[in-house]
Amino acid sequence: MSTIATVVNTVEQQKPRTEINGYKDFVTVKIDTETELRGSEKSAPASFPEYLPVWDNEKGQKLAPLQPFDHYDHGKDADPALPEILGKAEINDLTGTIGAEVKGLQLSQLSDAGKDQLALFVAQKNVVAFRDQDFASLPIPDALQIGSYFGRLHVHPASGAPKDYPEVHLVHRGAEDTTVKDFFESRTSSVTWHSDVTYEAQPPGTTFLYTLDNPKAGGDTLFLNMVAAYKRLSPEFAKRLEGLKAVHSGYEQATSTLERGGVIRRDPVKHEHPIIRTHPVTGEKALFVNPQFTRYIVGFKKEESDMLLKFLYDHMAYSQDLQCRVKWEKGTVVVWDVRCSTFAS
């Protein structure tokens, strides 16, 4: 028997990893609340202090695992003529393949029938940017009530949330935040095509993202039409993908968050999902993989799985004619359907 012992002299503190098994970490794990409230030389005070993130809504208690639920998609009930959407608004397509910009329609004023039409319209367009909205000025419970019409609200396992409202997933960069700077110390690109929390057993559907404070330039979001990406494949290649499943994992996100001093509210999970899924309203097929959370194809050896997933990821990234870029403005609300699109920010 041979035993080799190695003594390692630590010369500096090991920095948290910026990537773990393909997961790139940009999650903010803390802020300086006082600086956010009073502002600094780099940044004005928070316009919506009630939205500043906290990480202790659960008071240190670990959340129980999510339980299955019955979801009903209201897009099935929509008038296909979309009278509350098309009859009241100015609508311009962002590209020929994905996305639209809407002006002259207030989302908070839609009737239930209008919300049904919104669900169908977003499924058809993949992503829609609504301008001049009052969403950010609504009381947080009112915003949550609108969101809950489209399905059960999700509590993110790692991100910050407004005090007493854990269902709001905040994307926050404080004035003194160095997350992005730290990331680029070891990487040349921050592009992370993904769909949020696809590791859950029942991933999101219709999703709302609205701006509170945003820079004059920068921070744009890219979206990709995964229905069109599927249709672009040859029939024989698409046929080979039918029936395949891939594992989506939240363990890497949990590990990275803990390494950076963050909080994990719920034990991480991983679940299998079809590589090709069918939208419950439109009936269209779409690719459903992403490099942030998809880890391997079930039944394939590692090299086989890596090769096929790399092709699909490259196909997504290189298909610029299937993408659109949304520029954020004050009062913008972006609504997209996770089941037929993916994004990078």
Distance of alpha carbon 59 from alpha carbon 124, whole angstroms? 41
For 33-51, what is the mean pLDDT? Answer: 89
Confidence of residue 7 (pLDDT cuts 50, 70, 90): very low
Query: In this structure, are residues 286 and 272 in contact, taking their beta carbons and an 8 Å threshold?
Result: no
Nearest to 174 by CA among 21, 334, 34: 34
The H or E element spanning position 122 is helix 112-125
Q: Which residue has the tokens 């996770």?
A: 338
Distance of alpha carbon 107 from alpha carbon 64, whole angstroms? 33
Which pLDDT belongs to residue 17?
58
Q: Residue 104: is it exposed, middle or buried by C-beta count within 10 angstroms (0-12/13-18/19+)?
A: exposed
Q: Where are the alpha helices (DSSP H) in 126-281?
A: 140-148, 179-183, 226-232, 235-241, 251-259
Distance of alpha carbon 319 from alpha carbon 225, whole angstroms? 9
- The residue ranking higher by pLDDT, 197 or 189, is 197
Q: Is the pLDDT of residue 5 over 50?
A: no
Query: In this structure, are residues 316 and 193 in contact, taking their beta carbons and an 8 Å threshold?
Result: yes
Which pLDDT belongs to residue 336?
97
- Tell me if residue 152 falls in helix, strand or coil: coil
Residue 156 is encoded by which pair of tokens? 């993110």
For 323-330, what is the mean pLDDT? Answer: 96
For 215-233, what is the mean pLDDT? Answer: 94
Which pLDDT belongs to residue 177?
78
Residue 98 is encoded by which pair of tokens? 């994905």
For 187-203, what is the mean pLDDT? Answer: 91
Read off the pLDDT of residues 120-154 as tens digits, 9 standing for 90 and up. Answer: 999 999 999 999 999 999 999 999 999 999 999 99
Name the pTM for this structure: 0.92
Rg (CA), the chain: 21
